[in-house]
């Protein structure tokens, strides 16, 4: 059956391409308007924007600001066929294509095709055309380093074909296309963030290491895992609870034997400076005695089938019903379910199975199911709302967290999402596998998600499925410590995969990797503040260092953290990759005494010439004081100068929105053989802590250290 469907889809795409070549395409000038200084909107003739479904990707559809400028470069063609709608954008020779969201395979997407249909695909490969999330978005980088990006503003199933230019094809309704044209890929991604919305500032603890398993139970096992981290002095901030904590897999319940007192479990974790994240799926067991099913049925919140009956599908709890998140009443009901749940001391929420995944031949709901909508959302079938089901669930979960833990920043992790979903939740790359191929996929997927607007993502470090090997696990931990979201996870049928599970040598590798991350957390927190402010990803492709350098376009085993830190990894078993690295000054350094020249499991780190990177101490968790001393890692440029920033706030809560933060810009200058490091400027009203300052000047010959305080410039000898 799957092969027949696949062949039919392939035939459909071929037919669409052939017809598009013979059909008279509508010229790009059709309903083409500027909607901002670098953004244009295109629609085919006869399409009425007011009659289309609302945009889920964009914060709001921008209003026209004028006609297309004569010098506008990107041309858009439309082909309207009886059973489909297609858009084509021609790309010039040497144009590199990226984006398309969460998909396995190479970073460079030229010649590839993607199918935007959120799907539960455990142990996926590069052959899978669609995974858990949909991002109808392509970033194009021209040979000269200028760039443009294209949004297909549709939630319907959409085929993105990059074999000859950029083509979006859907069997749904017509849709507008938004094109961003700018001087660099960074500028395009920043504009994408402005259009689709920025993520919220995360709590500091969510940037630490997370430990998960499907599942840790009973509660004594959770405490044991926490104790092991502290006894072994391996940094960790969060322990996760998968579905085995529930009573018969009923969401918002706790198994009376395994977790008789969840509040006590959470208090134990809090007492040991851990946080907790607990899983909630969308499917509610169809059980008349179960309060979620009872209250939901009274409120008529469930998705309906084509005949108007509550749709029933089988998931972990057996026959279950599913909330219709297009209804405002459903979203309010869902948010209120978190009142008693979060009151038990739960810190974060994990939304899983929300493609939605359903255990039948379709693996999801029939497209004929009905969502009744309300407010801004029209009534529509599941074909319209499938790709945003998980996004709407994550949004409703975030609202519940804001309502019932108003003093804390929400942390929501979602498996399913859509373009723009970074507004509501972080994400991970789903049920991956312990293989060298998946280690490589993980880097490319996180980079692609970042280029598609999602700064906060990461894979299951070590692989969710399959045992893997000790060497692979160590290598994955070495690079995994640098992902924006850093979590280890494993299947319940798998071997143990805690950092110590493979013996003392691998444990040492994992500890060193996490100590490196925790020293860098002040820099990461600053980068997340940047992502919240301008939409740039935390983890960036290497070509961001020099967009016009063609040799960087497909480098997949080195990447950037922010603009100033390069991570040079070895992701194959042989560790023999020859990297294409950017020109200019990039000096190597170490953080905790690691030696990447000998230990290939620890990526080599390089700092950009002209950069200052803030570092903290090695801590076991983010509750410990990190920035006393504050270390500034300084690498001078060819003119003997450098600069960098440090963002600080309380780490949680909302005082930063009222000015209670400290954004410090540090500068370094050289004169008469002396390097002077000082505060250049500050923002925010947070009182500066009294603390020791250590300056580490990274040179080609080694590191020069000096100590002082932030109250006066630090002057040290230069070394060439």
* Residue numbers annotated as active site: 352, 355, 431
CA angle 350, 127, 163 (to 5 degrees): 115
Q: Which of 145, 24, 43 is nearest to 87 (CA)?
A: 43
215 preceded by a cis bond (ω within 30 of 0): yes
Tokens read off for 293: 């099913």
Strand runs labelled E in 242-317: 275-280, 284-285, 313-315
CA distance 639 to 267: 53
- How do strand 412-414 and strand 642-648 relate by DSSP bridges? unpaired
399 preceded by a cis bond (ω within 30 of 0): no
DSSP 505: H
Q: Which of 423, 409, 405, 412 is nearest to 525 (CA)?
A: 409
Count Cα atoms within 13 angstroms, Cβ side, for 141: 27
Q: How many angstroms from the chain centroid is the CA of residue 68?
A: 33
Residues contacting residue 158 through CB under 8 Å, at least 6 positions apart: 115, 116, 134, 136, 152, 168, 169, 170, 172
Strand runs labelled E in 198-246: 209-211, 238-241
φ, ψ (nearest 5 deg) of residue 503: 105, 170
A 10 A CB-CB count for 30 gives 16
- Cα-trace Rg, the chain: 25
Of how many residues is the chain composed?
720
What are residue 284's DSSP bridge partners?
Answer: 321
Contact 311, 319 (CB under 8 A): no
Q: Is 280 left (phi over 0), alpha (psi -120 to 50) or beta?
A: beta
Q: Annotate 621-653 with b (16+ C-beta within 10 A) or e (fewer).
A: bbbeebbebbbbbbbbbeeeebbbbbbbbebbe
CA distance 126 to 106: 8
Alpha helix locations (H) across 299-379?
328-336, 338-342
Q: Which residue matches tokens 């940037």?
A: 207
CA distance 475 to 494: 19
CA distance 222 to 550: 49
Residues contacting residue 298 through CB under 8 Å, at least 6 positions apart: none
Q: Which of 449, 441, 451 is nearest to 185 (CA)?
A: 451
Task: Give the Å distances, CA to CA, from 226 to 86, 160, 270, 487, 622.
Answer: 53, 44, 10, 15, 15
């Amino acid at each position: 059956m799957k092969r027949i469907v696949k062949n039919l889809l392939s035939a459909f795409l071929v037919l669409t391409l052939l017809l598009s070549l013979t059909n008279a395409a509508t010229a790009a000038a059709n309903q083409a308007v500027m909607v901002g200084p670098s953004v244009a909107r295109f629609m085919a003739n006869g399409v009425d924007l007011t009659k289309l479904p609302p945009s889920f990707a964009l914060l709001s559809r921008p209003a026209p600001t004028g006609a297309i400028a004569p010098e506008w470069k990107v041309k858009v063609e439309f082909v309207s066929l009886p059973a489909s709608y297609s858009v084509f954008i021609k790309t010039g020779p040497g144009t590199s294509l990226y984006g398309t969201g969460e998909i396995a395979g190479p970073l460079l997407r030229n010649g590839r095709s993607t199918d935007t249909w959120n799907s539960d695909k455990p142990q996926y490969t590069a052959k899978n055309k669609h995974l858990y999330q949909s991002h109808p978005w392509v970033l194009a980088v021209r040979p000269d380093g200028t760039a443009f990006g294209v949004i297909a503003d549709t939630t319907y199933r959409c085929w993105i074909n990059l074999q000859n230019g950029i083509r979006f094809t859907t069997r749904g309704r017509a849709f507008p296309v938004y094109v961003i044209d700018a001087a660099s890929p960074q500028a395009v991604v920043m504009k994408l963030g402005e259009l689709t919305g920025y993520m919220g500032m995360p709590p500091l603890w969510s940037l630490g290491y997370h430990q998960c398993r499907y599942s840790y139970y009973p509660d004594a096992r959770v405490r044991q895992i926490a104790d092991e981290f502290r006894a072994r002095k391996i940094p960790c901030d969060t322990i996760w609870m998968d579905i085995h904590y529930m009573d018969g897999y009923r969401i918002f319940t706790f198994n009376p034997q395994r977790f008789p007192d969840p509040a006590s479990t959470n208090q134990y974790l809090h007492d040991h400076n851990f946080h907790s994240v607990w899983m909630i799926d969308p499917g509610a067991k169809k059980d008349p005695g179960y309060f979620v099913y009872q209250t939901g049925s009274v409120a008529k919140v469930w998705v309906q089938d084509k005949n108007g009956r509550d749709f029933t599908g089988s998931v972990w709890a057996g026959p279950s019903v599913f909330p219709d998140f297009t209804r405002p009443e459903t979203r309010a009901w869902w948010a209120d379910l978190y009142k008693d749940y979060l009151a038990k001391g739960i810190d974060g929420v994990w939304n899983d199975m929300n493609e939605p995944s359903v255990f039948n031949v379709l693996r999801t709901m029939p497209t004929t199911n009905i969502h009744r909508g309300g407010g801004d959302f029209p009534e529509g079938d599941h074909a319209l709302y499938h790709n945003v089901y998980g996004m709407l669930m994550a949004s409703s979960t975030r609202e519940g967290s804001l309502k019932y833990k108003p003093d804390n920043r929400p942390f929501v992790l979602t498996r399913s999402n859509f373009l723009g979903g970074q507004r509501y939740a972080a994400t991970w790359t789903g049920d991956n596998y312990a293989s060298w191929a998946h280690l490589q996929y993980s880097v490319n997927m996180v980079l692609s998600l970042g280029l598609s607007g999602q700064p906060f993502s990461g894979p299951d470090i070590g692989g969710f499925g399959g045992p893997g090997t000790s060497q692979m696990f160590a290598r994955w931990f070495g690079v995994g410590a640098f992902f924006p979201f850093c979590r280890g996870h494993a299947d319940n049928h798998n071997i143990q995969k805690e950092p110590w599970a493979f013996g003392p040598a691998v444990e040492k590798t994992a500890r060193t990797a996490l100590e490196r991350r925790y020293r860098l957390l002040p820099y990461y927190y600053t980068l997340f503040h940047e992502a919240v402010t301008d939409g740039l990803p935390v983890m960036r492709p290497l070509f961001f260092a020099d967009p016009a350098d063609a040799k960087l376009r497909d480098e997949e085993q080195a990447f950037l953290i922010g603009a100033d830190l390069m991570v040079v990894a070895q992701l194959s078993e042989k560790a023999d990759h020859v990297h294409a690295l950017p020109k200019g000054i990039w000096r190597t350094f170490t953080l905790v005494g690691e030696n990447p020249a000998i230990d290939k499991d620890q990526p080599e780190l390089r700092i950009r010439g002209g950069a200052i990177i803030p570092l903290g101490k090695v801590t076991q968790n983010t509750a410990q004081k990190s920035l006393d001393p504050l270390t500034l890692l300084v690498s001078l440029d060819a003119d003997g100068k450098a600069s960098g920033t440090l963002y600080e706030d309380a780490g949680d809560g909302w005082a930063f929105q009222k000015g209670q933060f400290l954004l410090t810009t540090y500068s370094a200058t050289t004169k008469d053989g002396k390097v002077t490091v000082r505060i250049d400027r500050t923002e925010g009203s947070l009182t500066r802590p009294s603390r020791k300052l250590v300056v580490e000047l990274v040179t080609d010959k080694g590191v020069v250290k000096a100590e002082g305080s932030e109250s006066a410039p630090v002057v040290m000898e230069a070394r060439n």
